[in-house]
Chain A
Amino acid sequence: MSLRADLQLIADWIEPNSRVLDLGCGDGTLLAHLGTAKQVQGYGVEIDVDNVVRCIEAGVNVVQGDLEAGLAEFDDQAFDHVVLSQTIQAMHHTENILNEILRVGRDAIVTFPNFGYWRNRWQILQGHMPVSETIPYQWYDTPNIHWCMLGDFEALCAKNRIRVVERVVMDGERRVSFMPNLLGSLAFYRVARG
């Protein structure tokens, strides 16, 4: 079974035999893949109990918990990679989680839907909040409360003395290098301290 394109991109950034923490790991698809393909020792954190059960079914280590409460269960620098996939835009304590993931991890992979994507801008021009494949919610029932564009995220990293190691922007399954903040719908960052 082939991995979803965005998860494959994350998987490509993960070293074999490393220790990985996947925050908001859902049904454990990424960790299950990394376990067999890269022999990583992985743990997931997931708030939804049905997803926790799916992780257990998939043989994935999972800790049920709420990311908003922080990562108190995890020791400093306990992981090589921490993954925060399409979750940061739904968090109240955005800065806190950004600092927490680099407390527990050597590096972090953060992905989010790019609000600056041209289709989003077009919908706003037409007088509506964007609804799309990467943003599949109406404004009144969306879990996404902290939208940002590429530059916003990079500014927040700079403010917290976090270094952007690598950036990839995608539109569907296609990599975008020309005008990424306009033409890319999904942003992938690898970030580290110092």
Chain B
Amino acid sequence: MSQSEQSVGIVTPEDAFFDTPLTLNSGAVLEHYTLRFETYGTLNAAKSNAILICHALSGHHHVAGRHHPDEKAPGWWDSMVGPGKPIDTNRFFVVGVNNLGGCHGSTGPSSVNPATGQPYGSAFPVVTVCDWVRAQARLADRLGIDTWAAVIGGSLGGMQALQWSIDFPSRVRHALVIASAPKLTAQNIAFNDVARQAILTDPQFHNGNFYQEGTIPRRGLRLARMLGHITYLSDDGMGEKFGRMLRSGEYKYGFDVEFEIESYLRYQGDKFSDRFDANTYLLMTKALDYFDPGQRFDGSLVKALQQATAKYFVASFTSDWRFSPERSREIVKAMLSAKKPVCYAEIDSTHGHDAFLMTDAPYVAAMRAYLNNVAKEVAA
């Protein structure tokens, strides 16, 4: 971090309550709901400098800064968002929002259903990327933001950015789609299903109504996260970090933790199962599986993009095999066919899918360059 880069400091989440029913893609209706969000920076008088950050599978509204001075880690994209950083809060008004179905304050399966006085649990409807975008648009209305200077996201967040540009063309100047995909492959859906099966078959899952039982499907969630984590790292990256290192230096000829990678994955799984909701994990993976913006345009992403007016920034990472560069190039190809302005960077990185959260120098430089032009365009 250079000297001119700083943290946004102490931040406080806010809640927006909506009582206009939201009809979801599934046909289900959410009568009312809360969206938890955070903002950084100042909305200018023209309200032209707002940026929406969309989160990925396990993300949330807490993008940057700390909730209190002792908070162990800052927000999940603190490296990218802050004063002097590529998403510069001295110039932009940045909004982070927890999506519907989430478990960090927005209405989700672990929230109390006012109709029953019990947590929604399995009664919470399946949500899609389109549903999220519609809900985010209502939050934008509430904040007085007619047009986003940019909508930005990595992975599942990138899908939201892309969907925004298709569903609300006039409300998005720039969409930044990072380490994402135009729709999941069979292999990707397969990974998600194994993760879901781990949760669904955990005896503590109780058909999604485990809250009332005073338990959580910890084992299932832990396995789901361990599997996910493997797919977020690259073989090389894992090899560099762990190789075949043993915790005790010698084989024990048993099934306890021996290799460092085992220890690491278990630690990640445990940490995750303590703080994440199993039902939310199911919903997030379904949102990934269903994402296919071309579907209602005769299966053509090119046609879907035809109505978009945003300019695009697309980035991928060479060692990302969960959402490989080939998938980003499919997005770029569709943008080119639709004659949309686009910049595409393919960043050399060993960080796998997680690279979108890292700070490989060319990635940061490309983001900084692109967003600097966005800031100039909106006079921020």
Chain A residues near B (Cβ < 8 Å): 19, 41, 43, 49-50, 52-57, 59-65, 72-75, 78
A61 in contact with B342 (CB, 8 Å): yes
Chain A neighbourhood of B345, CB < 8 A? 49, 52-53, 56, 64
**Nearest CB of A to B334, in Å:** 10
Produce 1/0 per residue, B331-359, CB < 8 A to A.
Answer: 01100110101111111100000000000
A72 in contact with B333 (CB, 8 Å): yes
**Nearest CB of A to B301, in Å:** 13
A63 to chain B: closest residue by CB = B344
The number of chain B residues with a CB under 8 A from chain A is 22
B365 to chain A: closest residue by CB = A53
User: Any chain A CB within 8 A of the CB of B370?
Assistant: yes
Interchain CB contact (< 8 A) of A49 among B333, B339, B362: B362
CB contact under 8 A between A61 and B343, given known A50-B362, A56-B373: yes
A73 in contact with B362 (CB, 8 Å): no
A73 in contact with B343 (CB, 8 Å): no
A-B contact pairs, 23 of them (CB 8 A): A41-B339, A43-B336, A43-B342, A49-B345, A49-B348, A50-B362, A52-B362, A52-B366, A53-B365, A54-B369, A55-B343, A56-B313, A56-B369, A57-B373, A60-B343, A61-B341, A62-B343, A64-B344, A65-B329, A65-B344, A73-B329, A73-B333, A75-B336
Chain A neighbourhood of B337, CB < 8 A? 75, 78
Interchain CB contact (< 8 A) of A78 among B336, B346, B369: B336
Interchain CB contact (< 8 A) of B362 among A53, A55, A62, A75: A53
Chain A neighbourhood of B373, CB < 8 A? 56-57, 59
Per the bound structure, the CA–CA distance linking A63 and B334 in Å amounts to 13
B344 to chain A: closest residue by CB = A63
Chain B residues near A (Cβ < 8 Å): 313, 329, 332-333, 336-337, 339, 341-348, 362, 365-366, 369-370, 372-373
Per the bound structure, the CA–CA distance linking A19 and B339 in Å amounts to 10
| A-B contacts besides A53-B362, A61-B343, A64-B345, 14 pairs, CB < 8 Å | A19-B339, A49-B366, A52-B366, A56-B366, A56-B370, A57-B369, A57-B372, A57-B373, A61-B342, A63-B344, A64-B346, A73-B329, A73-B332, A74-B336
**Nearest CB of A to B335, in Å:** 9
**Nearest CB of A to B369, in Å:** 4
Chain B neighbourhood of A65, CB < 8 A? 329, 344, 346
Per the bound structure, the CA–CA distance linking A73 and B335 in Å amounts to 10
Chain A neighbourhood of B370, CB < 8 A? 56
Per the bound structure, the CA–CA distance linking A55 and B332 in Å amounts to 17
Chain B neighbourhood of A64, CB < 8 A? 344-346
B302 to chain A: closest residue by CB = A75
Per the bound structure, the CA–CA distance linking A50 and B373 in Å amounts to 17
Per the bound structure, the CA–CA distance linking A73 and B341 in Å amounts to 14
Interchain CB contact (< 8 A) of B336 among A49, A52, A53, A73: A73
B339 to chain A: closest residue by CB = A41
A63 in contact with B347 (CB, 8 Å): no
* Residue among B329, B343, B348 with max Cβ neighbours from chain A (10 Å): B343
Per the bound structure, the CA–CA distance linking A49 and B348 in Å amounts to 9
Chain B neighbourhood of A41, CB < 8 A? 339, 341
Chain A neighbourhood of B333, CB < 8 A? 72-73
A49 to chain B: closest residue by CB = B362
Per the bound structure, the CA–CA distance linking A49 and B360 in Å amounts to 12
CB contact under 8 A between A53 and B369, given known A41-B339, A64-B345, A75-B337: yes
Per the bound structure, the CA–CA distance linking A78 and B340 in Å amounts to 12
Chain A neighbourhood of B343, CB < 8 A? 52, 55-56, 60-63
B330 to chain A: closest residue by CB = A73
Per the bound structure, the CA–CA distance linking A74 and B341 in Å amounts to 13
Chain A neighbourhood of B339, CB < 8 A? 19, 41
* Residue among B337, B341, B366, B373 with max Cβ neighbours from chain A (10 Å): B366
B362 to chain A: closest residue by CB = A49
Per the bound structure, the CA–CA distance linking A52 and B347 in Å amounts to 10
Per the bound structure, the CA–CA distance linking A24 and B351 in Å amounts to 27
Chain A neighbourhood of B372, CB < 8 A? 57
B360 to chain A: closest residue by CB = A49
Per the bound structure, the CA–CA distance linking A73 and B365 in Å amounts to 24
Chain B neighbourhood of A62, CB < 8 A? 343-344
